[in-house]
Structures are given as structure tokens and as C-alpha cells.
Amino acid sequence: MEFKISKELIQELEQLIQSKNDQQLEVLLNDMHHADIAEILDELDFDEATYIFRVLDSDKTAEILLELEDDLRENILSRLSPKEIAEELDELETNDAADIIAELSQDLKAEVISELQDVEHAKDIVDLLRYQEDTAGGIMHKELVKVNENWNVLTCVKEMRIQAENISRVHSIYVVDDEDRLKGRLSLKDLLTTSSRTAISDVYIRKLNSVKVDTEDVEVARIMQKYDLEAIPVVDELGRLVGRITIDDIVDVIKDEADQDYQLAAGISQDVEADDSIMELTKARLPWLVLALLGGFITVRVLGLFEGAMLEHGNLFFFTPLIAAMAGNVGVQSSAIIVQGLANNTLSGSLFNRLIKEVSLSLLNGVILATILFLGSHFLLNVEIIIGIIVTIALVSVIIIASLIGTFIPLLLDKFGIDPALATGPFITTSNDICGILIYFSIAKLILGF
């Protein structure tokens, strides 16, 4: 059954830490899953967390380290010596170890690497450090099982046993040539049903998906999802097998990508969490707010252009927030659908068809909303008929323009290689505010002639 942190458990731990009862702490925690212990440590203060961290074995703490919130991990690492950090890393898979090293300061990095005990492991980690975080190279593991196409089945099985020892899940056996170039894969079933003197080159499967080290991680995710793969091999520029990505790495990529798009749509430009520091949160939130503020300056200016209407038709100004809000909402809806379509690769058909569709859709929505608005302005808000008519015409026009802006800005950004997710949220609402208000007052001016 699932583990739940209780207040009692936290209190008990805090007491044991205070009385330095290491033995009892070990008894209590040793049976728990490392992910659960990480959750507990996140609830304690830094000193208590570090204390527990020192009490437990490094095979356990290494795994815990991976699960901790960023700031707690940073804090604990800063209290450990390079040698102690290296001991943790020796327990981890290359990829996870490289991720932790990448977070360290430049000086500490070198010291920790020099303290690593397992030379092969250290080499692999250093190798991984040179890849960009968001590429196949950046998320791949070095741990995999590979055999040479020139071996026979017997040699192959022997070698596999040795290699598989360091790997938690085998998934696939890859076949390479003498230059380490990826040639194909072996099915475990075939291997077990073939005579032990058969050459590997006679039994391996030549058809196989692979990605390059510099393939973007979201592209890897797309391929693995599309072809329903549990693992995919990674090759370098020369086609040599250098690593492997498994589906659980991809789960993180998908989650991160979705979180990032969600934040972008909400006007948050860096990957932040509710528990990050106020400075980090400000850095992520302020840029979009400044943009919105500058957009606001323009709306002030635009409204100023129509100051002449104020004396006779003051209540025109009461509708500006309504028009702006509708423009913003419609624009965000349209852009969200396009951004998702682009991300999931489900957009088909020509630009012209999309234009026709978006116009029809917003015409339909616009007419329904305009009817409500017209009736509402008359019966609920008691404005003159002519103002009601102006507002209604403006609403339909604004909805059409806003949905076109919402549809085509993301498509345009995508064409120029910019993340279209940038175009949902503040960017769209701000530009639609400005356009919406301009259209509204232009229509009013045309009809009322002020």
C-alpha cells in the first residue's frame, strides 16, 4: 500500500535526531523506499536532513539524492566533502551521476571527478557531461548490453552475462561491428533457440530505430511514443553506439515539457516551483509582467486617441475591459489549440483551410456571444441601443481578429523555429488587448462620427 507521511513520524524522527539515536533511526528508515525517505527529508530542516543523510548507507543515500527537491540537494551536497560526494556518485548510474555533477560548481566538479573510485564509471560520466541537457546525449545512459556481429552465440551469451550485471533492466541487446557502429539488435528468444556456434551476423535483426546524440529530447520522446518503444539506442556522428535511452527517462522529458508549456502559457518564463525562492520566482515572472505593462501603456495611448468621444459617449469607455477580456480569452483559446496541435504533431491540412475554419468557428462563437451581449446591454446594463449595436458589432469583429492572431502567431513562431508555446498567455492577451480596443473604438468612431 502507499506510503503517507504522518506528523507523528516526523516528530519521532526529530526526537531521534535530537537524542542522536542513530541505531533507532536506521531501524526506522532502512526498510523504507528511497523515494519515501526523500519525501521525509523534504519535510525536515536542512540540519536534520543532513544528519539523517549521514546516518544512512551510501547505496541508499545516493538514490535518495536523486529524489530530493533541488534546494535541499544543493544544501546537502554543500555540506559534504568532494570525497563524500564521489562515494555517492559511485553508487549511481552514469546518467544520474552526470546530472548531479552538472549542478556542482566548476572547481568542485573537477575535485569530485578525481575522487571517483571506478575508473570506467568515471570515464563514462565525464563523457556524458559534454552533451547538452536537452538532447539525446544529455538524457542517455551509458549502461547497455552490446555484442559484436562477428561473435558466435556462445561468446555472446558469456559476454552478455558480464555486461548485464550492472544494468537493472536489459530491454534490448544491441549488435555492433568492430568499429562499434550500431548494426541492429538481437532478440533474447532467438538467442536462446539458436545453436551456440551460429554467428551473430546470421541471427540479428537489422531493422532498428535509433537517435543521434544531438537529437532533441522532445523528438526522442515523440519517436519512442509513436513506435511504442521501451528503449532506443543512441549513436554518435559516425554511427557508433554510445548510449541508450529508456522509457522512464522519457516520462521525465514529457512531464518537464508539459510543465514548461503550461508555465509559458501562464506567463512564467523559467522552470520554477512554488517552493523556489522569491528572487527566482521574480526572475521568472517579472519579464512577462513588464511586457504586459508596456502593452498597457499602448492601450492608454490608444484610448487617449478617442478622448473626444468621452463627453458625449462616456459609457463607450465602460465596455473597454469587456472587449479586451474577450479578445484575450479568445486569443488564448485559439493559440492553445494550435500550440498543442504542433506539439503533438496532429495538425493536418493547408493554412487556407485552417483560416476558413477559424473564421467560421469564431463567427459562430461571436454571433452567440454578441446576441447575449446585445440583450444584456439592453436589459441588464440599460445602455442606449446605438451603443449596444456598436459593442455587438465590435465584439464579433474582435473575436474573429483575436482568433486569427491566436491561430497564426504560434504557426509563424513555429515556422521561424521559435517555441510556439511562447505565444499563449501574456504575449497573446497583450497584443489582443491592444487590437481589440483599437477595433472597438474605430467602429464606434465610424458609426458615431466623433
Residues 6 or more apart from 428 whose CB is under 8 A from it? 328, 331, 332, 335, 405, 406, 409
3-state helix, strand, coil in the chain (%, to 5): 70, 10, 25
Nearer to its own copies, 197 or 314 (CB): 314
Nearer to its own copies, 126 or 284 (CB): 284
| Nearest-angstrom CA–CA distance, 336 and 424 | 6
**Least spacing, CB of residue 371 vs its own copies, in Å:** 11
Nearer to its own copies, 204 or 319 (CB): 319
Nearer to its own copies, 135 or 430 (CB): 430
| Nearest-angstrom CA–CA distance, 66 and 30 | 17
**Least spacing, CB of residue 114 vs its own copies, in Å:** 30
Beta-carbon count within 10 A of 77 CB: 20
Nearer to its own copies, 12 or 67 (CB): 67
**Least spacing, CB of residue 119 vs its own copies, in Å:** 27
**Least spacing, CB of residue 282 vs its own copies, in Å:** 6
DSSP characters over 119-130: HHHHHHHHHHHT
DSSP characters over 15-48: HHHHTT-HHHHHHHHHTS-HHHHHHHHHHS-HHH
Contact predicate 233/241, CB 8 Å = yes
**Least spacing, CB of residue 431 vs its own copies, in Å:** 11
**Least spacing, CB of residue 37 vs its own copies, in Å:** 12
DSSP characters over 369-425: HHHHHHHHHHHTS---HHHHHHHHHHHHHHHHHHHHHHHHHHHHHHHTT--GGGGST
Nearer to its own copies, 22 or 71 (CB): 71
